[in-house]
Amino acid sequence: MTKEIDLDEIGDYVKALHCQIRWEIIEALKSGPKNADQIMEALMPKQEDLQNNPKDKCKGTCQNGEGRIIKKPTLYYHLRELESVGIIEVAKLRPTEHKRAPEKVWELNLDKLIINFKD
């Protein structure tokens, strides 16, 4: 799906895309739908690089220039931020054992994002 936005909508997308980890989530989902565990697994090489190469730490405000290994709750926060602007969506819910909440499987919702600078 292609989404066209005007300048009055761009702030929401800038907020959703300002953080490098969110771009890495998008990259992980390009190959197809994934649950949170699969996304974490796809992010692991980047997280290991972050530990081993401090100079490559995120300079974004979400990490206050301190770069860190993300944990599951932080991943869920980033997924919700991307979902809030429609970049990703829940593709399906999988039942879990022991009557826990169903597992979300995430996928990219947008192929392209077009910004209209003029009316």
Burial class (CB in 10 A: 0-12, 13-18, 19+), 81: buried
Q: What is the pLDDT of residues 76-109, one digit of tens each?
A: 999 999 999 999 999 999 998 887 899 999 999 9
What pLDDT band is residue 119 in, cutting at 50, 70 and 90? Answer: confident
pTM of the model: 0.80
The pLDDT of residue 62 is above 60? no
Q: What is the pLDDT of residues 77-86, one digit of tens each?
A: 999 999 999 9
In a domain, 93, yes or no: yes
The structural domain count of the chain equals: 1
Domain span holding position 91? 2-111
| Domain CATH for 42 | 1.10.10.10
Give the per-residue pLDDT at 42: 93
In a domain, 99, yes or no: yes
In a domain, 117, yes or no: no
Residue identified by tokens 């959703």 is 16
Give the per-residue pLDDT at 30: 97
Spatial distance between the Cα atoms of 72 and 78, rounded to a whole number of angstroms: 10
Helix axes 10-17, 20-29, angle to 10 degrees: 90
Give the mean model confidence (pLDDT) for residues 7-20. Answer: 94
